[in-house]
Amino acid sequence: MMHEHGILRHAAQRLLGVLPTMLLLITVVFFLVRVAPGGPFDSEKALPPEIQANLEAKYHLDEPLIQQYFRYLGQILVLDFGPSFQYKDWTVNELIAEGFPVSLTVGGLAMVLAFLVGTMIGITAAMKQNTPVDYSTMGFAMLGISIPNFVVAPLLILVFAVYAGWLPAGGWDWSVQRMVLPVITLALPMIAYVARLTRGSMIEVLHSNFIRTARAKGLPEKTVIRRHALKPAMLPVISFMGPATAGLITGSVVIERIYAIPGLGSYFVTGALNRDYTLVMGVVIFYGLLIILLNFIVDLLYAWLNPKIRYDEEY
């Protein structure tokens, strides 16, 4: 009970720590975006001065920078990221609501696939340590880490879409067929990372004293793995999956471009290229909140998986 109470107190402290972190993130991003060369209304053909002035007045870009900053902070307090400068008649909130479910679906499915396949491969390699099975699986894992996504994606399209004709080459309509190739492309390197982490952690756990004790009691090997070794072996994997999941969900820019997926990453790249201040800041802030939330969940899972971790004062 005291351990659970300590976890709840730690969770409250972490949530309070979100505020200064987000304030620092908003401040840094706001001023970095504004000092970058160019502006949201720059183009090859210069606008007439009066039109330029009207546009800047409409979006409050004619105000002093510090005044713009505090105006933006006031908008963030009510979760309003403002209008997009480049997507006419769209707010940043609407663009995030449009793109995030797509990125969440593709990235989430990729991480689930990576976790299931990667842990299975890692456990198998650890159980067969220093055998051909171990060497071959880890060799494939290194291959998965070494080959970048932008190389894997065209190869998968060539094999399964162009030659075999089994799957569409790109586009998005929420069908399973459209999801298969981008999900597999995103999952492959994550499978390799998860497999290597699981193997290393499982080997360390299998050489622990409590595992030797469990084996000495005559328990079957499968029971030893399932009841005693699996939980502690998953701790490094759980720690890795928090930021990795956030990265997959919002950082799959190349994959979204290759497969023509209208996700959050595509909006971010377009906003950055066009100096769409509000869109870039909105996506970065949203991404920061997502990382903080996922790391918070990982902290709670970590404490649940490892009872030795105590957050109460008596530890």
State residue 2's pLDDT score.
Answer: 43
Domain contains 285: no
Provide the CB-side half-sphere exposure for 173 (13 A, CA): 6
C-alpha to C-alpha distance for 197 and 203, rounded to whole angstroms: 10
Domain contains 280: no
10-residue stretch averages of pLDDT, the chain, 315 residues long: 54 71 86 74 59 66 83 87 83 88 88 90 86 84 79 88 87 87 89 88 83 78 77 80 75 79 81 81 86 78 61 44
Domain contains 301: no
Overall residue count recorded for the chain in this entry: 315
State residue 253's pLDDT score.
Answer: 74
Domain contains 193: yes
Other beta carbons less than 10 A from residue 229's beta carbon: 24
State residue 314's pLDDT score.
Answer: 41
Q: What is the amino acid identity at position 273? A: L
Domain contains 53: no
C-alpha to C-alpha distance for 222 and 179, rounded to whole angstroms: 35
C-alpha to C-alpha distance for 102 and 232, rounded to whole angstroms: 33
C-alpha to C-alpha distance for 59 and 88, rounded to whole angstroms: 13
Domain, as residue range, for 200: 107-262
Other beta carbons less than 10 A from residue 41's beta carbon: 17
Handedness of CA 241, 243, 249, 254 (dihedral sign): negative
What CATH number did the domain enclosing 210 receive? Answer: 1.10.3720.10
Phi, psi torsion values for 91, nearest 5 degrees: -95, 160
Largest interatomic CA distance in the chain: 86
Selection from 83, 78, 106 nearest residue 95 by Cα = 83
Query: How many structural domains does the chain have?
Result: 1
- Structure tokens of 147? 């080959």
Domain contains 117: yes
Helices H, strands E: what count in the chain?
A: 14, 0
Domain contains 7: no
C-alpha to C-alpha distance for 64 and 70, rounded to whole angstroms: 10
Domain contains 158: yes
